[in-house]
Structure 1
Amino acid sequence: MNATAGQAEVKSLADRFGVEPGMVVMEMGYDDDVDQDLRDVLIDRCGDLVDEETDEVVDVVLLWWRDDDGDLVETLIDALGPLADNGVVWLLTPKAGRPGHVEPSDINESAPTAGLQQTSTVNAGKDWTAARLVAPRAARSRR
């Protein structure tokens, strides 16, 4: 694949993530293994990413998660704190066969326990898969 095609693929990924200019995107779980191309495209789209110490209400949480990162339920609950009522958590996990791979069943069990439901999964680069997690409509109306 040539560089232009690769850039177009990453840009369309930013579209699939639903990130628009002016949105506040919080990043959690950053480490040296994240997909830098994806981060760059999201930063180009919305500006700097904020970290979990932010006092802002955020539209999107970008959560990089690996199998040995601890308790996924607790981290998802932490991600909900600053999230807007209609916000989205993108849970990025290493693909199968990559170090830190998270079994889909772990996500399927953890998300509802944290008060989230998975709506879709997308290929988020060479090494990462992203699961879109949202609060169920009934829960959003109670928040």
Structure 2
Amino acid sequence: MSSTARPEGTSSAVSRLGFKSGQIVQELGWDEDVDESLRQEVEDAIDGELVEEAMEPVDVVLLWWRDEDGDIIDGLFDAITDLNDTGYVWLLTPKVGREGFVDATDLNEGAVTAGLTLTSTVPVSAGWTASKLVPPKGPRR
């Protein structure tokens, strides 16, 4: 497999997000405006379904967030509740100029207040950008 090859059926964006087969991925903030093809590609990559209610600690939280969804800090605290000790959050926000766009300053302040670090940002579709947020190393509880 070449360095540019990716699993069949997986988009470049989903490949960059690093999902792996067997991961438990919790999805929060779903609404009718989400990118359904991206959701399907994530499910294909993890070889499973996205979960809404976590019954066990999760590896990744996929959090769809729009400006009108309220306080991003509250949303991020909800997102980290079910993470395992090595888990992280992919925060999906509408791209600049799109309805529901979240200002980068608000995103950064929310992440810091929630005790998370923004490590990367990836465009994942025509309308959405994903920002990877990781908690500090070590136990959170």
With structure 1 as the length reference, what TM-score do the two structures score? 0.87
1:38 paired with 2:38, answer yes
CA shift for structure 1 position 124: 1.2
What is aligned with 1:14? 14
What is aligned with 1:48? 49
* Partner amino acid, structure 1, of 2:55: D
CA shift for structure 1 position 9: 9.3
Q: Distance in 2 between matches of 1:101 and 1:42?
A: 22
Structure 1 stretches of 4+ with a deviation exceeding 6 A read: none
* Partner amino acid, structure 2, of 1:50: V
Q: Which moved more, 1:86-95 or 1:11-20?
A: 11-20
Deviations 1:104-140 (A, max 9, x none): 1101100010010100000010000111000122xx3
What is aligned with 2:133? 133
Q: Distance in 1 between matches of 2:134 and 2:114?
A: 10
Percent identity of paired positions between Structure 1 and Structure 2 = 52
CA shift for structure 1 position 11: 2.1
Q: Distance in 1 between matches of 2:22 and 2:103?
A: 34
Q: Distance in 2 between matches of 1:27 and 1:58?
A: 10
Contact map agreement 2:14 2:124 (CA 8 A) in 1: no
Superposed CA RMSD in Å reads 1.8
Contact map agreement 2:66 2:94 (CA 8 A) in 1: yes
CA shift for structure 1 position 10: 5.4
Deviations 1:26-73 (A, max 9, x none): 00000111111110111111110000x222210010000000001111
Give the match's secondary structure for 1:92: strand
What is aligned with 1:3? none
Q: Distance in 2 between matches of 1:94 and 1:10?
A: 21
Structure 2: unaligned runs, 5 residues or longer: 1-7
* Partner amino acid, structure 2, of 1:93: T
